[in-house]
């Protein structure tokens, strides 16, 4: 048990280190900008007051390393700075509205995105694992071949294609669900769920395909093992062979697959949120990219990267915990 704890702590430290380096990359990338950063972003038409406000806001007169340390320290405490749009505004009114910082802007949208990802996961994970087991059980039957073609097509289609087909079928031709996810604070859970159905369904279709293929591959990988053959030879029924002997051993790869696909959700969410005008963090990110609002872009990027690293780390740790062979490395 002691060694297991040590491995997990090691991984955690490694993940933290990765996050630190990634934050440095994100910070450094923005500082690739030539000359006066504030002037370059705001353009020639910006008022000198706005440029000055941003310059003090970002402390552009300080050395690079100090600025990075400041930014990181503030971010760790939840202070992600003030967006350019806000700094521009503040230069006229002369004060910064505390409810309009990047953190205040991101927090509710982050919760919305988590809700979307959560709903998707609740639908997608059982569906994908179940279908993957069935495909492995009925391999090389028409079901398996049909599933192969369907999943491959679903993986290869861009998210917005799936999204628009769902809008066309379920919102326009048969008005079952709303095509725009207008979510307000203070909405009841049922209403929120109804508005989230179409984006969640889109993500489910894309993610399920990935997960199902990997689950099938993980189980089939094991089916050639001698103990599976033994179980089959002693007259066990095929479903029992899979559930009793193959599945427990395939658990590590499957858990890994699930976590990796949840990490994939992090990026998939961006396009889907834009299609359905879902007020999540991905939409804010894309809007800020278009507005070149660098503090917001930096903050969103950091959050996405952190979520991605965290999920990958979880996959790593779970696969160690569930696999005795990895738990006691030679």
Partner 1 sequence: MSGWLWTLLALAGLAALAFAGRAGARLATGGAPRFRDMGFGEAFGWALAGAAVAGGVWLWLLPGAVYFRWAVTGFALCAVAAFLFRILGRHVGPEPTKRLFRQMPLTAAFGILAILVYAIVAIFAGWIAPHGQEAVLGAANIVPGGDPAMGGNPDFPLGTDRIGRDILSRLIYGAQNTVGLAFATTLLAFVLGGSLGLLAAVVGGWLDQVLSRGVDVLMAIPSLIFALLLLTIASVWAEGARGLLTFYMVLIIAVIDSTRVFRLARAVGIGIVVMDYVEAAKLRGEGMGHLVFREILPNATAPLLAEFGLRFCFVFLTIASLSFLGVGIQPPLADWGTMVRDLAQFINFAAFAPMVALAPLLPALAIAILTVGVNFVVDWMLHRSSGLKS
User: Quick check: 32 binds partner 1 (CB under 8 A)?
Assistant: yes
Residue closest to 302 by CA, chosen among 12, 39, 99, 102: 102
Q: Does 225 bind partner 1 (CB under 8 A)?
A: no
Among 4, 8, 26, 277, binds partner 1 (CB under 8 A): 26
Helix 247-275 and helix 189-223, axial crossing angle in degrees, nearest 10: 140
The single residue among 88, 120, 204, 298 that binds partner 1, judged by CB under 8 A, is 298
Q: What distance in Å separates the CA atoms of residue 110 and residue 142, rounded to the nearest whole number?
A: 42
Query: Measured from the CB atom, is 107 or 309 closer to partner 1?
Result: 309
Place of tokens 């809008």: 167
Determine contact, residues 54/84, Cβ cutoff 8 Å: yes
User: For residue 2, what are its two tokens?
Assistant: 């002691």
158 binds partner 1 (CB under 8 A): yes
In terms of Cα–Cα distance, which of 86, 208, 78, 224 is closest to 150?
208
Rounded (5°) CA angle 131-133-139: 95
Please tell me whether residue 124 binds partner 1 under the rule CB under 8 A. Answer: no
| CA proximity to 116, closest of 275, 316, 251 | 275
Provide the CB-side half-sphere exposure for 294 (13 A, CA).
19
- Residue 107 contacts partner 1 per CB under 8 A: no
Contact between 220 and partner 1 per CB under 8 A: yes
**28 near partner 1, rule: CB under 8 A:** no
7, 320 Cβ separation under 8 angstroms: yes
Minimum distance from residue 95 beta carbon to partner 1 (Å): 27
Determine if 138 is a binding residue for partner 1 (CB under 8 A). yes
**Binding residues with partner 1: total (CB under 8 A):** 66
What is the closest distance, in whole angstroms, from the C-beta atom of residue 319 to partner 1 in the complex? 18
CA-closest candidate to residue 15, choices 313, 311, 304, 259 = 313
Closest CA to 310 of 73, 6, 12: 12
- What would the x/- binding string for partner 1 be over residues 37 to 66, using CB under 8 A? ---xx-------------------------
Q: Does 218 bind partner 1 (CB under 8 A)?
A: no
Among 56, 62, 153, 182, binds partner 1 (CB under 8 A): 153
Stretch that binds partner 1, among 102-110, 114-122, 240-248, 283-291 (CB under 8 A): 283-291
Axis crossing angle, helix 84-93 with helix 48-58, rounded to the nearest 10: 120
**Contact window for partner 1 (CB under 8 A) among 34-42, 68-76, 242-250, 321-329:** 34-42
Please state, in angstroms and rounded to a whole number, the distance separating the CA atoms of residues 120 and 262. 9
CB of 290 to partner 1, least distance (A): 6
Cβ closest to partner 1, residue 257 vs residue 297? 297
CA distance 310 to 78: 17
Which of 29, 64, 111, 243 is close enough to bind partner 1 by CB under 8 A? Answer: 29
- Minimum distance of partner 1 from residue 151's CB (angstroms): 10
Using the rule CB under 8 A, give the single segment among 71-79, 156-164, 246-254, 315-323 that binds partner 1: 156-164
Q: Does 304 bind partner 1 (CB under 8 A)?
A: yes
Least distance from C-beta 264 to partner 1, angstroms?
8
- Select the span of 77-85, 99-107, 108-116, 270-278 touching partner 1 (CB under 8 A): 270-278
Is 114:324 a contact under the CB 8 Å cutoff?
no
10 binds partner 1 (CB under 8 A): no
């Amino acid at each position: 048990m002691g060694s297991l704890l040590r491995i997990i702590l090691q991984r955690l430290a490694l993940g933290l280190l990765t996050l630190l380096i990634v934050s440095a990359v994100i910070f450094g990338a923005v500082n690739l900008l030539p000359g006066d950063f504030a002037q370059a972003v705001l353009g020639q038409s910006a008022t000198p007051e706005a440029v000055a406000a941003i310059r003090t806001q970002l402390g552009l007169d300080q050395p690079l390393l100090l600025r990075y340390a400041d930014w990181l320290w503030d971010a760790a405490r939840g202070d992600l700075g003030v967006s350019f749009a806000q700094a521009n505004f503040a230069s006229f009114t002369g004060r910064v509205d505390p409810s309009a910082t990047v953190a205040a802007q991101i927090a509710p949208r982050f919760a919305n995105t988590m809700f979307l990802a959560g709903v998707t996961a609740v639908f997608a994970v059982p569906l994908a694992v179940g279908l993957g087991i069935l495909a492995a059980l009925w391999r090389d039957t028409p079901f398996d071949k049909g599933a192969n073609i369907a999943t491959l097509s679903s993986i290869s289609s861009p998210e917005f294609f799936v999204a628009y087909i769902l809008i066309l079928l379920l919102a326009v031709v048969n008005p079952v669900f709303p095509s725009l996810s207008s979510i307000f604070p203070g909405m009841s859970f049922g209403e929120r769920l109804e508005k989230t159905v179409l984006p969640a369904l889109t993500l489910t279709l894309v993610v399920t395909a990935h997960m199902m293929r990997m689950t099938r591959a993980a189980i089939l990988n094991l089916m050639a093992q001698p103990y599976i053959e033994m179980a089959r030879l002693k007259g066990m029924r095929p479903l029992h062979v899979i559930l009793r002997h193959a599945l427990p051993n395939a658990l590590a790869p499957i858990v890994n697959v699930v976590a990796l696909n949840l990490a994939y959700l992090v990026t998939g969410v961006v396009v889907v949120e834009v299609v359905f005008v879902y007020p999540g963090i991905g939409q804010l990110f894309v809007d800020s990219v278009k507005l070149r609002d660098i503090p917001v872009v930096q903050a969103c990027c950091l959050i996405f990267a952190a979520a991605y690293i965290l999920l990958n780390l979880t996959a790593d740790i779970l696969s160690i915990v569930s696999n005795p062979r990895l738990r006691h490395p030679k």
